[in-house]
Structure 1
Amino acid sequence: MITQAEYELLCSDAVRRAVAVNRGRDPLEVALDRSVPHARIVATQVKYLARATVKLPAYAAAQCILPPRAFEQASSEACAAHKMLEGDTVLDLTCGLGVDAWYLSRRFRRVVTLERDPVVAAVARENFARLGAGNIEVVTAPAEEYLRRPGLEFDWIYADPDRRSAEGRKQLRLEASSPDLCALMPLLQRASERLCIKCSPLFDVDEALRLFPASRVEAVSLGDECKEVVIYADGAGPLLTATALGRGSYSAPPDTPAPPLPARFDAGHYRWLVQPDVALQKTRLARRHLWGQADSWSENGYGFAREEPREAIGRIFAVSKIEPYDPRRLRRELSGAGVELLKRDFPIDTPTLMRRLGVRAGNEQRIAFTRIGNEYWTIRLHG
């Protein structure tokens, strides 16, 4: 994290102008440029503002202060904007860079956000001012202390707990995160009837429902990558939702019966391949979502369809040919070619498969590999 002295420099007119002037330059060049005041600090901001144009475009546009660690741990604006919370008042237990708090301020009259580090709290206040958010109160206090204050009452409580140990190791169990929301549950329930928790993308949805049986649990993906698992503990569940931002959502109760497996795999029958989005895989809803659109034998596998499944959430490819996996024949045909390899339910990792086939990464051909039952298949794709 940045120091108090560094924060004060970043707020100074000279450094703010230097950051503005040098945006777009190579950060290393900026750091070595003796004409730039406080070049190292300016170079760091130039570096993270460039990254923010994708992850935090509004923060980049407002030239917010971006401490590196806080930036890495922050929600993307796309994910923060998606969170399904609204009401009059909300308490955010874990401010950090404040991305979630800022988006919550658009849907609540009043936001109170907690940050135990006084310098990070000051950064958040400064950034909210640059973003024009006037309804966010940043309180410099740990959640454990603040929640003991009398008379607290909020429509929602939101938390994105720190999932790293004191040694920096990633923690997956909610009880091991900071603050420990499980231990704080009596205080949380006293302050609000509704709790929203952002969890690691590795967090298991079954564990979420074990801890909060009547909750709504959503896996959120962006660009074919699962970004977060969000628990809405508001009594409106149990419900599982897979959301691929920009592609669509699918929801089902966790006890919804899985569809029957297709009777057989007829390679000559299919003309389309569906690669279900990772959010569907995470929530184990892929087969239920594809039912009636495509045949699927596994939550981790592909869907196969005769007609183009336009409502499917995921990548959809036209099939050129489906044939049994034969590495020797493929090596003869593909050796040296630039190939995009896709895999689902296939036991060979991508680097090993590329070596066996004698191919390199490229876009000359696109080929998928999978297992159906006890058989392995190669699916050649158009485009």
Structure 2
Amino acid sequence: MSESLRDLGLRIKARDIALAETTRITPAAFALRHAGRYEPGLLQLIAGHLDYLRDIEKKIPSWYENRQTLPYTGINLEQSSSELTARYKAGYVGGQNGLDLTGGLGVDSYFLAQKFDYFTHNEPDAGLSEVAACNFKALGTDNVTFTRFTAEQYAWPEKRYDWVYLDPSRRNRANGKLVLPEDCLPDLPALRAQILEHTDAVMVKYSPMLDIRLAVSRLETVNEIWVLAEKNEVKELVFILRKTARPRPEIRCVNLATPQPEFVFTLEEEKEAIAPYGMPLQYLYEPNAAVMKAGAFTCSAVRFGLQKIAPNSHLYTHTTALDHYPGRVMRIRGVTPFDKKRLNNMVSGKQANIICRNFPLKPEEVKKKLGWKDGGDTYLYLTEDMNGKKLAIVTEKISP
């Protein structure tokens, strides 16, 4: 149901009341404190705004500092881009005209619009479009036009767009199964040719659950793939499409909010790479989540001259601590078979951060078996060597 202007006015009133009280109070506590002061509908809106403020404080800090933006009923902010990923994407685009074909609440649109003379936020839900327009006005963005078409029925103007952006939603979330581009709304493989009649460049964001290789085959004219992580958690996959495919599209692995460098490779490079195997040496290397999601298991080892400890553990070793590695670098303090007595002699305080790679026990099971607690400066990697022998590698972190 579309949001009426009256409802929008109530949301603004709810926002102002929430801000006048405090952003630290919980919605439940606020509701108890003011149960007789506000009508239930308005009280619910205020509680919703308090939730929204908590969500955007770290995720979209510039919106939080502004304090004038509004949430929208039914929109899960968790699925929206963060400010970090939105700014990264905006750093790649620019020109006279840009379009967000699936505008939503407008987080991506807001940052993308700053790189264009004119920008269009397209969102078929009239209420959501109204909220986005209200937010953009509050944020001081005045170069954006708001349209309300479905992506399939978008009224393409005669002008050309320098970039078109999409963030398709998944139709089927059942069982947490992986989805293909054609399983999402809009179906970009079906619309790709039409969209590329009006632009030379399409940027599309997908869930990190998507299989990269299958997506490349479905999207056909992929030129680049970005795996965007924040603090070692993969947040989204981004594909750049143009009129013709790039024979060897680059995959860019990015771990935002860390000093780790980007790692760029191709699927062909990974397929052709051969890395030597070796026992743990002085230093242990663990690729970050973006590199792991992208599948750069062997070529990343070759690029940095590392040895693989085992075929499927995705842990690597070297005699020195290398700079500019896209992941953790750990100093090895000891290596032993998995044995409680030996580990207790090697690790004081019975405390460690436990990481299991290709190991029959989970970290919680290991802690219970050893009688240890989690945390501290020691990192215990449980894995196997190239011969399948189970290993415990005691380390300390020297880079994030």
Q: Same fold (TM over 0.5)?
A: yes
98-107 or 367-376: bigger deviation: 367-376
Gaps of 5+ in 1: none
Alpha carbons 2:340, 2:370 under 8 Å: kept: yes
Gaps of 5+ in 2: none
Q: Distance in 1 between matches of 2:173 and 2:337?
A: 50
Cα offset, 1:368, TM superposition: 1.1
Query: For residues 157 and 28 of structure 1, do their structure 2 counterparts lie closer, same or farther at Cα, with a shift above 3 Å needed?
Result: same
1:236-284, Cα deviation, whole Å (9 max, x unpaired): 551111111132211122212543232x4234xx221221101111111
Q: Tell me whether 1:143 sits opposite 2:143 in the alignment.
A: no
Cα offset, 1:142, TM superposition: 1.0
Matched residue, 1:283: 294
Matched residue, 1:200: 207
Alpha carbons 2:15, 2:49 under 8 Å: kept: no
Q: Distance in 2 between matches of 1:111 and 1:355?
A: 56
Identity %: 24
Query: For residues 332 and 36 of structure 1, do their structure 2 counterparts lie closer, same or farther at Cα, with a shift above 3 Å needed?
Result: farther
Cα offset, 1:329, TM superposition: 4.5
Alpha carbons 1:91, 1:154 under 8 Å: kept: yes
Q: Distance in 2 between matches of 1:286 and 1:366?
A: 21
373-382 or 14-23: bigger deviation: 14-23
Q: Distance in 2 between matches of 1:240 and 1:336?
A: 42
Q: Distance in 2 between matches of 1:220 and 1:15?
A: 32
Cα offset, 1:71, TM superposition: 1.5
Q: Tell me whether 1:115 sits opposite 2:123 in the alignment.
A: yes
Structure 2 matches for 1:250-289, cutoff 5 A?
Answer: 250-256=263-269, 258-262=272-276, 264-267=277-280, 270-289=281-300
Alpha carbons 2:275, 2:301 under 8 Å: kept: no
Q: Distance in 2 between matches of 1:42 and 1:190?
A: 45
Q: Distance in 2 between matches of 1:230 and 1:15?
A: 33
Matched residue, 1:362: 375
| Structure 2 counterpart of 1:104, from 94, 108, 112 | 112
Structure 2 matches for 1:119-268, cutoff 5 A?
Answer: 119-147=127-155, 149=156, 151=158, 153-165=160-172, 172-211=179-218, 212-234=220-242, 235=245, 238-245=249-256, 246=258, 247-256=260-269, 258-262=272-276, 264-267=277-280
Paired positions, count: 378
Structure 2 matches for 1:39-118, cutoff 5 A?
Answer: 39-63=43-67, 64-67=69-72, 69-83=75-89, 84-118=92-126
Alpha carbons 1:93, 1:115 under 8 Å: kept: yes
Q: Distance in 2 between matches of 1:88 and 1:308?
A: 46
Secondary structure of residue in 2 paired with 1:197: strand
Matched residue, 1:19: 19
Matched residue, 2:9: 8
Secondary structure of residue in 2 paired with 1:190: coil
Q: Distance in 2 between matches of 1:221 and 1:187?
A: 31
Amino acid corresponding to residue 116 of structure 1 in structure 2: P
Structural RMSD (CA): 2.7
Q: Distance in 2 between matches of 1:170 and 1:71?
A: 21
Alpha carbons 1:275, 1:301 under 8 Å: kept: yes
Cα offset, 1:335, TM superposition: 11
Query: For residues 362 and 253 of structure 1, do their structure 2 counterparts lie closer, same or farther at Cα, with a shift above 3 Å needed?
Result: closer
49-58 or 245-254: bigger deviation: 245-254
Secondary structure of residue in 1 paired with 2:188: coil
TM-score by length of 2: 0.86
Amino acid corresponding to residue 207 of structure 1 in structure 2: L
Query: For residues 60 and 357 of structure 1, do their structure 2 counterparts lie closer, same or farther at Cα, with a shift above 3 Å needed?
Result: same
Cα offset, 1:218, TM superposition: 1.2
288-297 or 70-79: bigger deviation: 288-297
Q: Distance in 1 between matches of 2:311 and 2:235?
A: 22
Alpha carbons 2:233, 2:289 under 8 Å: kept: yes
